[in-house]
């Protein structure tokens, strides 16, 4: 019989594998990892999404020319376009045709031929040149002077609200991670303490024949780390499946204004780190509990 024991070995003397108290630990750990993985995925996906939205919106402006009953807006659009093209720091100015604007509203308002008959403002898409600073306030004022009824929109207020929402979700996800970690530690403490009580007689014998505390603690920590590691795998796999399903459903929404959150490489690496991290957390917790309990023995 081999007396070596490690992460994947058996606890030689204590036979912790026979404990009924720890039998359900992998199931609980699996559930905890499922929640933690979803929270972690949420953290990374939303972080990426916020960056994407910010990047997409920050270089773009929209000029809106208010509808005037009975008057053609084409002249105002042409004046505004010329004005904007002459403004320093502007890379591209593209007036949108009424039909194009109607198509953009189609997902929200219905058929575009009917939308085209509505009193819609005309829009001009403006792209700011890279690495240039445009005084947007001054540009907005000058544009309003040159073209009455023209208004420069920066999308910033909308983006700010989206970022606030995203950050709130991130804080919530972080709180879930902390909560999951605390609950995991508490469950592991309970299991380890029960194991200590159940094996007290053998522990006493081991002590009396000269076993160091860390020799006994290692059997506990290796066994519980193994349970946590193996228990975390199904939870993680299930969470990845759920994330893929949610990602697929988000992609089907056809919400062209914002892109669906996607996981970046760092997110996948963080997910892959969950099983070893939970094993490490378990090892540390069990070692702390077992050594503490052993110290109270002679």
Partner 1 sequence: MIRFENVGMRYGMGPEVLRDINLHLKPGSFHFLTGPTGAGKSSLLKLLALSHRPSRGLLSLFGQEVSTLGRKELPSFRRKIGVVFQEFRLLDHLSTLDNVALPLRIAGADEDQVRKHVAELLDWVGLGTQIDAKPPTLSGGEKQRVAIARAVINRPQLLIADEPTGSMDPDMGLRLMHLFQELNKIGTTVVIATHDIGLIRKFSNPVMYLKDSTLHLSQSDEYLDQYHRSSL
Q: Which is nearer to partner 1, 103 or 207 (CB)?
A: 207
Binding partner 1 (rule: CB under 8 A), the pick from 20, 208, 253, 265 is 208
Q: How many CA atoms lie within 13 A of 255 on its CB side?
A: 10
Window contacting partner 1 (CB under 8 A); options: 105-113, 161-169, 170-178, 210-218: 210-218
Query: In whole angstroms, what is the distance from residue 213 CA to residue 293 CA?
Result: 10
Binding partner 1 (rule: CB under 8 A), the pick from 22, 26, 37, 213 is 213
DSSP label at residue 17: G
Q: Which is nearer to partner 1, 168 or 200 (CB)?
A: 200
Query: What burial class does residue 233 get, using C-beta atoms within 10 Å of its C-beta: 0-12 exposed, 13-18 middle, 19+ buried?
Result: middle
Residue 126's DSSP bridge partners are 61, 93
Does 200 bind partner 1 (CB under 8 A)? Our answer is: no
Does 205 bind partner 1 (CB under 8 A)? Our answer is: yes
Binding partner 1 (rule: CB under 8 A), the pick from 67, 215, 248, 268 is 215
Q: Are 166 and 50 in contact (CB under 8 A)?
A: yes
| Phi, then psi, of 123 in degrees rounded to 5 | -120, 145
Measured between its terminal Cα atoms, the distance across the chain in Å is: 30
Q: Which is nearer to partner 1, 119 or 210 (CB)?
A: 210
Size of the site for partner 1 (CB under 8 A): 20
Window contacting partner 1 (CB under 8 A); options: 134-142, 167-175, 185-193, 201-209: 201-209
Q: How many CA atoms lie within 13 A of 26 on its CB side?
A: 12
Q: Which is nearer to partner 1, 14 or 128 (CB)?
A: 14
Q: Which is nearer to partner 1, 170 or 293 (CB)?
A: 293
Does 132 bind partner 1 (CB under 8 A)? Our answer is: no
Instruction: Give the angle subtended at the CA of 52 by the CAs of 135 and 171, to the nearest 5°.
Output: 105
Buried b (16+ CB within 10 A) or exposed e, 186-222: ebbeebbbebbebbeeebeebbeeeeebeebbbbbbb
Q: Which is nearer to partner 1, 70 or 210 (CB)?
A: 210
Question: Which of 193, 88, 168 has the alpha carbon at shortest distance from 134?
Answer: 88
Does 201 bind partner 1 (CB under 8 A)? Our answer is: yes
Binding partner 1 (rule: CB under 8 A), the pick from 212, 241, 244, 248 is 212
Binding partner 1 (rule: CB under 8 A), the pick from 20, 253, 265, 298 is 298
Least CB distance from residue 298 to partner 1, whole Å? 5
Least CB distance from residue 195 to partner 1, whole Å? 15
Q: Are 107 and 254 in contact (CB under 8 A)?
A: yes
Binding partner 1 (rule: CB under 8 A), the pick from 55, 119, 130, 209 is 209
Residues numbered 10-39 forming contacts with partner 1, rule: CB under 8 A: 13, 15, 18
The secondary structure element, H or E, covering residue 65 is: strand 60-65
Window contacting partner 1 (CB under 8 A); options: 87-95, 97-105, 203-211, 276-284: 203-211
Structure tokens belonging to residue 30:
């699996």
Binding site for partner 1 (CB under 8 A): 1, 3, 13, 15, 18, 201-202, 204-213, 215, 295, 298
């Amino acid at each position: 019989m081999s007396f070596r024991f490690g992460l994947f070995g058996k606890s030689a003397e204590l036979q912790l594998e026979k404990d009924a108290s720890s039998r359900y630990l992998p199931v609980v750990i699996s559930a905890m990892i499922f929640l933690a993985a979803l929270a972690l995925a949420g953290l990374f996906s939303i972080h990426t999404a916020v960056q994407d939205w910010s990047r997409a919106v920050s270089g773009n402006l929209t000029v809106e020319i208010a509808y005037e009953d009975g008057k053609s807006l084409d002249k105002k659009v042409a004046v505004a376009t010329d004005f904007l093209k002459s403004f320093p720091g502007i890379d591209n100015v593209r007036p949108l045709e009424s039909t194009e604007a109607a198509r953009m509203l189609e997902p929200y308002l219905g058929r575009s031929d009917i939308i085209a008959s509505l009193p819609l403002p005309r829009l001009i898409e403006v792209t700011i040149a890279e690495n240039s600073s445009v005084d947007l306030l001054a540009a907005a004022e000058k544009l309003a002077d040159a073209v009455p009824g023209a208004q420069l929109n920066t999308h910033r207020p909308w983006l700010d609200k989206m970022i606030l929402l995203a950050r709130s979700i991130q804080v919530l996800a972080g709180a879930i991670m902390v909560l999951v970690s605390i609950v995991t530690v508490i469950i592991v403490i309970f299991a380890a303490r029960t194991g200590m009580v159940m094996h007290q007689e053998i522990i006493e014998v081991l002590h009396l024949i000269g076993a160091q505390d860390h020799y006994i603690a290692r059997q506990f920590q290796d066994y519980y780390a193994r349970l946590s590691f193996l228990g975390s795998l199904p939870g993680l796999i299930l969470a990845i499946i759920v994330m893929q399903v949610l990602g697929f459903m988000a992609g089907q929404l056809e919400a062209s204004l914002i892109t669906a959150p996607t996981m970046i490489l760092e997110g996948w690496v963080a997910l892959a780190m969950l099983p070893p991290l939970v094993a490490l957390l378990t090892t540390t917790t069990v070692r702390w509990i077992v050594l503490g309990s052993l110290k109270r023995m002679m």
